Amino acid sequence: MSESTNQPSTDIQNQPVLRVNQLDSHQLDDEIHHLVKAQVNNVFQFFQPGVLSFIEPELNASLRFILWKFSVSHSSTTFGQRLLNLQYGSSVGGSVLTVRQRWLYAVLVIGCRWFQDRAYDLSRLTENVQAFDVVWVAIEWLERILKIASVINFLVFLRQGTFQTILERALGIKARFENPQAMRQVSFEFMTRELLWHGFAEFLFFLLPFVNFQRLKNNIRRRILIGQSPAAKGDAKRAQYLYEECAICGEWPTNPQEIGCQHIFCFYCIQANFKADRAYTCPLCGFPLDDRNNIKGVICDVR
């Protein structure tokens, strides 16, 4: 009877936890901390601006302590781990965290971060500035060593799947499943379809900047107007324009311009189209714009 009772807990301890679940649990913990802090900021939103900036390190430490008190201290699991059915356990034996491990977790997570945020202010309170400069240099070197060690530890974590952070490795704790994991049937059809469309969209975003759609549109328009004859150049009546619309945008022309035919254009419309397509022609009559110097300003008469 005792063997059948202990069998499920042994299976849970030996069941490996996916790396993505461990990474997601840490991400969820950070998001929960930011959400709680945002609620506190909303409470003080009508107070004097900057009222919380002086005590922000203490505020963050207090929020982390509250989250630790009702999570790791109470059930050996963080809120992010609880959402993913995970729990901290000792790397030796797989039992829950001891009281010593829980308090060390609190000191390292809460106390070290508070000291890091308050280190500069503490340096201004001491009278022996030179002595604290030595301590400050030592702290900077320690941070660099920890960053390098964190990178190495993360690479080892990707290889072995345990001890995601230096903290977990130092305390000898690792993530495990809190309750037995049920087998589930996973269909990858939706994921495959999403990955396919995502890759196709990324390819389009890369390709579209290389396509000159304005020039392509103008080429299609020229094919349609190929049977129409362009207006004669040098028309004596070109000086008088009775048109009130830009041949491109159809609005009242801003800073009217002409290219040699009997139609007028906005300055920005004709300049932008000519820069996009050197073989640009009038969209109404097909008159070719051979050179940029052929774009000239005109005065429109409204009758």
Give tens-digit pLDDT for 126-149. 666 666 677 778 878 888 898 899
Pairing between strand 173-177 and 86-90? antiparallel
Give tens-digit pLDDT for 152-194. 999 998 888 888 888 888 888 888 887 776 655 556 677 788 8
CATH domain 214-297 topology:
Herpes Virus-1 (3.30.40)
For CATH 3.30.40, list the domain ranges present in the chain.
Answer: 214-297
Nearest to 89 by CA among 80, 68, 78: 78
Q: Cβ atoms within 10 A of the Cβ of 268, count?
A: 14
pLDDT at position 281, please? 78
Give tens-digit pLDDT for 66-79. 999 998 888 888 98
Q: For the whole model, what pTM was predicted?
A: 0.53
- Six-digit token string for 276: 């996009």
- Please give the Cα distance from 138 to 135 (Å, whole number): 5
Backbone phi and psi for residue 126, each to the nearest 5 degrees, phi listed first: -80, 150
